[in-house]
Structure 1
Amino acid sequence: MEEQTEKKAGLKIVREFKAPKTLVFDAFASPDAFAQWWGPAGSRLTVESFDFKPGGKTHYKMDGNGHVMWGLFQYKNIQRADLLEFINSFADADGNIITSPFPMDFPLEVLNKITLEENEGITTLTIQGRPINATPAQEDTYFSIMDSMQQGFGGTFDQLEAYLEKSQAQ
């Protein structure tokens, strides 16, 4: 029973940043900012298209360690400085959703919800993710690599923290 509860809850990461929540939100809302911190540590991100609005899409390329991967965000709900909901997928160079470039049966779509709360200049970012429109096998794969996803987002959020520090120092 406990395992089922964990599966339904999906991925949840909470991270604090010493920055106003408008600055944290804007790091997602600007293609130039987004390119400076999103993605695996050590990769270079190129934004191919950026339409930051409900129903809009962002298509990006990540280069790192001799590999090229493409990603796609499909924005569902955006409430300035408070909430961002999007579907994240692997994509091809044309922005079409594709299977994972890794040898696993990973879901084609992952719904992510990011909330931001600020208290005395500290912004708490909470991201929750879960597969949608996935087969049971794809869901099992997703939940089997939760630790790896925690580490991946940890590296990405380390880059966000460095971006925010640099932005506030200017």
Structure 2
Amino acid sequence: MDQQTEKKDGLKIVREFKAPKTLVFDAFASPEAFGEWWGPAGSNLSVERFDFRTGGSTHYKMEGNGHVMWGLFQYKNIQRADLLEFINSFADAEGNIITSPFPMDFPLEIFNKITLEENDGITTLTIQGHPINATPAQEETYFSIMDNMHQGFNGTFDQLDAYLAKVQG
């Protein structure tokens, strides 16, 4: 995909899991499950607040490699087992949206849409994301690190795959 197409469409990752879509969805829907797999590989995640409903939010802390980062999900639309739409942001310890902890002008808010489709016990998860309320410079930063975001999400989804395998026994 060329950079223009990537810029127009934003992030898009499609991943298959050997699990029913209700189980994949439920991995997002409880603080215990979410805490086991979300985030960069090698980080420990603790959930500070978890209100999984349209209009609710989740505030979490990630620790790894000597760094502490906070994140915030603001849920915009939840349709059990089919759809999850949320805005993801970096946050402080109180849950306020803050700038990226990395030395770059990254957007404050990223809109993410996750859809789930099941066929013969295999669930296809599609995540699409793009900046909202961002300056042109912030958008440029977002699109310039697309490869890193793909790598990060693939590591996170590897952890989801391991979690799903564990809970299915």
Does the alignment reach a TM-score above 0.5?
yes
Aligned equivalents of 1:73, 1:103: Cα separation in 2: 22
Q: CA deviation at 1:47?
A: 0.1
Q: Secondary structure of 1:157's partner?
A: helix
Aligned equivalents of 2:13, 2:5: Cα separation in 1: 16
Q: CA deviation at 1:14?
A: 0.2
Q: CA deviation at 1:4?
A: 3.7
Aligned equivalents of 1:46, 1:67: Cα separation in 2: 14
Q: Percent identity?
A: 85
Query: What whole-Å deviation, never above 9, does each CA across 1:13-60 have from its counterpart, x for those lacking one?
Result: 000000000000000000000000000000000000000001100000
1:31 is aligned to 2:31: yes
Aligned equivalents of 2:152, 2:6: Cα separation in 1: 19
> For this pair of structures, how many residues does the alignment match?
168
Alignment match, 1:56: 56
Alignment match, 1:81: 81
Aligned equivalents of 1:86, 1:6: Cα separation in 2: 20
1:151 is aligned to 2:148: no
Q: What one-letter code is carried by the residue in structure 2 that aligns with 1:29?
A: A
Q: Structure 2: where are the runs of 5+ without partners?
A: none
Q: Secondary structure of 1:53's partner?
A: coil
Alignment match, 2:20: 20
Q: What one-letter code is carried by the residue in structure 2 that aligns with 1:75?
A: Y
Cα root mean square deviation, aligned = 0.7
Alignment match, 2:131: 131
Q: What one-letter code is carried by the residue in structure 2 that aligns with 1:111?
A: F
Aligned equivalents of 1:3, 1:42: Cα separation in 2: 30
TM value normalised by structure 2: 0.98
1:66 is aligned to 2:75: no
Q: What one-letter code is carried by the residue in structure 1 that aligns with 2:157?
A: F
Alignment match, 2:115: 115
Aligned equivalents of 1:31, 1:89: Cα separation in 2: 18
Q: What one-letter code is carried by the residue in structure 1 that aligns with 2:102?
A: F
Aligned equivalents of 1:22, 1:3: Cα separation in 2: 35
Aligned equivalents of 2:34, 2:145: Cα separation in 1: 25
TM value normalised by structure 1: 0.97
Q: What one-letter code is carried by the residue in structure 1 that aligns with 2:81?
A: A
Query: What whole-Å deviation, never above 9, does each CA across 1:94-140 have from its counterpart, x for those lacking one?
Result: 00000000000000000000000000000000000000000000000
Q: CA deviation at 1:8?
A: 1.8
Q: What one-letter code is carried by the residue in structure 2 that aligns with 1:117?
A: E
1:100 is aligned to 2:100: yes
